[in-house]
Amino acid sequence: MRGRGVAAGRRLGLLAVGAALIAPSVALAQDGATLTLVAYSTPREAYEEIIPLFQETEAGAEVEFEQSYGGSGDQSRAVEGGLAADIVALSLAPDVDRLVEPGVVPEDWAENEYDGFVTRSVVVFAVRPGNPKNIQTWDDLVRDDVAVVTPNPLTSGGAKWNIMAAWGAQTTEPAAGASPEAATDEATEEAATEYLRELFANVAVQDKSARESLTTFLGGQGDVLLAYENEVITAQQAGEEIEYVLPDETILIENPIAVTSESDNAEQAQAFVDFARSPEGQRIFAEKGYRSVLDEVPADFPEFEDPAGLFTIEAFGGWSDVNEKFFSEDGIVASVQDQ
């Protein structure tokens, strides 16, 4: 189990994040640009440190920020529906892709050396101090004596990552020198579907966002929380009594960021995105528990263990196939939740 950087008394307001809450980062200046960052729930603490650092640079010297945080799906739909945004930083690529057709985000948003991403993470098992239920593997999550907390996939990108991590743990096998591929034979998929059915039978609460699920778990509900690794580390840094288990089989989470087509300050917005991907910005993310998108990670960044069976969303055909197969109205998730 892992317990990094716990600092009692340094609580970071984990209970204060509301969906679609707009809050100025500082008093708005009369001159210069104001950028609105619309993001999913978990990176708030990182951006609250990255933004002031950016404002110390020449590109960010006269830039102020407004910020909105919530479930990734909810945030994406809010921007689609008219919520102003200069920058969107969401949990998964489809939540940005949704904004392409209405013209909110350019079609080529992911055509760069980072494939559109700004952070990476993995799905982990967050547990109570000392891991009293001895939760170590995916099989432990479907035991009769274990209650699971995970957010709602209708509103939360984190929930989708959790579900695909669970599915992949049942269907992928490591391949020498390559990323694991998911088995697609009928017997394997039937067994994996049954696993999801048993997993959802153990789910005690499905909140709207990963942050709300963390709050629920910290409030005493459930024995295990399916979570972003970085979210648990942030909670530890805030002094919360929480540990986590890194399962042998889990998914690589990749979180996108994009400048919107409708931004009146596109140059400054792009400068901020570039800064977030720079070694200075990536260092803050790493200190908050994220895995870097840099090809060469500086030696003094926090180190993270690589799971033996790490797979990506491409093992299942990519998000377009996954959303249709798993998260459509008649998809696998709907079928297992209805029973």
Whole-structure pTM value: 0.88
**CATH code, residues 14-119+255-287:** 3.40.190.10
Would 14-119+255-287 and 121-252+306-338 be classified into the same CATH topology?
A: yes
Question: Would strands 34-40 and 64-70 be described as parallel, antiparallel, or unpaired?
Answer: parallel
| 3-class SS of residue 53 | helix
pLDDT at 182: 77
pLDDT for the residue numbered 186: 87
pLDDT value, residue 102 = 97
Q: 95-101 contacts: CB < 8 A, separation 24 or more? A: 95/40, 95/157, 95/256, 96/256, 96/258, 97/319, 99/258, 99/260
* Mean pLDDT of successive 10-residue stretches along the chain, which has 339 residues: 40 43 44 91 96 98 97 96 98 97 98 98 98 98 98 94 97 64 84 97 94 96 97 96 97 98 97 98 97 94 93 95 95 87
Q: Can you give the pLDDT at residue 179?
A: 61
CATH number of 121-252+306-338: 3.40.190.10
The domains of the chain are located at: 14-119+255-287, 121-252+306-338
3-state secondary structure of 37: strand
The DSSP output letter for 302 is: P
Alpha-carbon torsion angle 160, 165, 170, 176, nearest 10: 140
Q: Are 75 and 23 in contact (CB under 8 A)?
A: no
Report H helices in the chain: 44-55, 72-80, 93-97, 157-171, 186-201, 210-218, 229-237, 266-277, 279-287, 319-326, 332-338
Q: For position 31, what pLDDT does the model report?
A: 53
